[in-house]
Structure 1
Amino acid sequence: MVRGVLLDISGVLYQDDEPLPGAVAAVQKLQQAGIDFRLLTNTSRRTAEAIYYDLKRMGFAISEQQLYTAPRAMLDYLQLKDLRPYCLMHPNLETEFARLNHTNPNAVVVCDAGERFDYKGLNKAFQVLMNDGAELLAIGENRYFRSRNRLQLDAGPFVKALEYASGKQAKVLGKPAKAFFDSALHSLNLPADEVLMVGDDVESDVSGAQRAGLRACLVKTGKYRVGDEASAPDALLADDLLQLVEEQVLAA
């Protein structure tokens, strides 16, 4: 029996700032059935506050406490370790990290920086990493995402480039890191085997959740591409979130 659900956001609940068909109704059905849920996202072009208000505007009746973002996890880690980051990130996200000390950096933070992934920025990150003890920290290792019906490069390829150049292994703070899933499970106060992760990314969402001990479902929306399910044969598969909720979660 599924007692809790973890939901990826982009590609599962909405796409290009519009709710996906049936997604609002699916969330309402979970709420009416008393099934608690959390929203997990590696999105790093907008602040958590902006994502929350976008979801509310689209009709999703959620609380801010139900939203778990990888940038927030990154910020918590930097503050806990008292690190001084050099940040490769989108300008929309800079306000969340503005209060940190960025002088003489001893860590590199890689988010989805968009047009800021240029030689100058990547070379500066490389130079920081070549200092003794400097850490390479990543929101995630996603290879690409879907936007405006086109696939776009995500942060993962640039993280791999910095790993190769510096010889250092990145610490991932968002999906598919087990600690990120564990934090959401702790909030739900449920064991992993009673929680279902739903996502459109077979690597970050589905396989990552399975390695963390959760059940998982791949939905055929967002960045899903035909044949992705072959990478996670033990996962559920659904056309969209509403079909999953009606036919497999509530019918169980």
Structure 2
Amino acid sequence: MAQKPEPLQKVEGLLIDVGGVLYQGDEAIEGSAEALALLRERHIPFRLLTNTTRTARARLAEKLHRFGFDVAEEEIVTPASVAGAILARDGAKPHLLVHPDLLPDCPEEAARPDAVLMGDAGEHFTFEAMNRAFNVLIEGGRLYALGRNRFFRGDKGFELDAGPFVAALEYAAEVEAVLIGKPARDFFLTAAKELGLMPERIAMVGDDVEGDVEGAIAAGLPGVLVKTGKFREADEARAKKGGAHVAASLHSLVEEMT
């Protein structure tokens, strides 16, 4: 068996980003379904860790099934799936500024909110929606962000993610968002805990050098950048400088691990 690259020698499990690593637009990335099958065959545990805040876990699992991935809803960890516990911990009653498709995974909208829970609402980021959220915040409400990624690559090219809209409300209401999704440290550690391994034994695999790779490394996990999805050539040097491993794809990474 070939010697594993040094950053992978102690890795026994994976957290795997979804968009840009497993699929792109309306099709699976070549070799990605086979990569998950190899992980199962070789008893390497994993969780799918995604910042997507437009799609509920059940719908995401259905989409992955259509693309040929054998995954269960319980193997997917999203900011919305952990948001309820965080809001309950803080005693926060939320106004929801999220995409309607995400509502099944979200806590209930409060009649008298004292916080805003915000995700990628897409075309629902209207002036009226932003202004309603602003009014909760300007009255002293806290802002919770499911994610603050700047952009992602959709089937029609690059698209704005939640981050620019979170920044707009932070600026307008003079507040700082509490981040729930990547690159929040607790989000990586919550998912890592499900695998029953120490964080340093679990690598985070993603196409976003900032949100996936650098965020994971800051949380104590090894980071792996793949050259698919939103990857751009300048990202490779940045990732390596920060101590990350770089692989051509998820399939290539799994082959290197085994």
Structure 2 SS opposite 1:217 = strand
Any unmatched runs of 5+ in structure 2?
A: 1-9
Q: Is the 8 A contact 1:44 1:93 kept in 2?
A: yes
Q: Which whole-Å CA distance do the structure 2 matches of 1:31 and 1:206 have between them?
A: 23
Quick one: structure 1 residues 198 and 123, their matched pair in 2 at CA, closer, same or farther if it must change by over 3 Å? Answer: same
Structure 1 SS opposite 2:233 = coil
1:53 aligns with 2:62: yes
Q: Map 1:119-198 onto structure 2 (within 5 A).
A: 119-132=127-140, 134-198=141-205
- Aligned partner of 1:71 in structure 2 is 80
Identity %: 44
CA offsets per residue over residues 31-71 of structure 1, 9 Å max, x none?
A: 11111001101111111110112222322222332110111
| Offset, 1:175 | 0.8
Aligned-residue RMSD, C-alpha: 1.5
Quick one: structure 1 residues 225 and 71, their matched pair in 2 at CA, closer, same or farther if it must change by over 3 Å? Answer: same
| Offset, 1:77 | 2.1
Q: Which whole-Å CA distance do the structure 1 matches of 2:90 and 2:36 have between them?
A: 36
Return the TM-score normalized by structure 1.
0.93
Consecutive aligned runs of 4 or more in structure 1 exceeding 6 Å deviation = none
1:85 aligns with 2:90: no
Q: Is the 8 A contact 1:17 1:54 kept in 2?
A: no
* Aligned-partner residue type, residue 162 of structure 1: L
Query: Which of 5, 11, 14 is the matching residue for 1:5?
Result: 14
Count of aligned pairs between the two proteins: 247
| Offset, 1:228 | 1.4
CA offsets per residue over residues 81-132 of structure 1, 9 Å max, x none?
A: 44322211112112333x6242121111110011121222112211110113
CA offsets per residue over residues 114-168 of structure 1, 9 Å max, x none?
A: 1121222112211110113x11000111000000151000000111111111121
Structure 2 SS opposite 1:24 = helix
Query: Which of 108, 112, 123 is the matching residue for 2:116?
Result: 108
Q: Map 1:15-54 onto structure 2 (within 5 A).
A: 15-54=24-63
Q: Which whole-Å CA distance do the structure 2 matches of 1:61 and 1:155 have between them?
A: 29
Return the TM-score normalized by structure 2.
0.91
Q: Which whole-Å CA distance do the structure 2 matches of 1:212 and 1:108 have between them?
A: 26
| Offset, 1:28 | 1.1
Q: Which whole-Å CA distance do the structure 1 matches of 2:34 and 2:46 have between them?
A: 14
Any unmatched runs of 5+ in structure 1?
A: none
* Aligned-partner residue type, residue 193 of structure 2: H
Q: Is the 8 A contact 2:51 2:79 kept in 1?
A: yes
Q: Which whole-Å CA distance do the structure 2 matches of 1:17 and 1:106 have between them?
A: 38
Q: Which whole-Å CA distance do the structure 2 matches of 1:66 and 1:72 have between them?
A: 11
| Offset, 1:80 | 4.0
Q: Is the 8 A contact 2:53 2:147 kept in 1?
A: no
Tell me whether 158-167 or 229-238 shows the greater mean CA deviation: 229-238
Q: Is the 8 A contact 2:95 2:109 kept in 1?
A: no
Tell me whether 103-112 or 62-71 shows the greater mean CA deviation: 62-71
CA offsets per residue over residues 4-24 of structure 1, 9 Å max, x none?
A: 011001110111232110001
Q: Which whole-Å CA distance do the structure 1 matches of 2:88 and 2:250 have between them?
A: 36
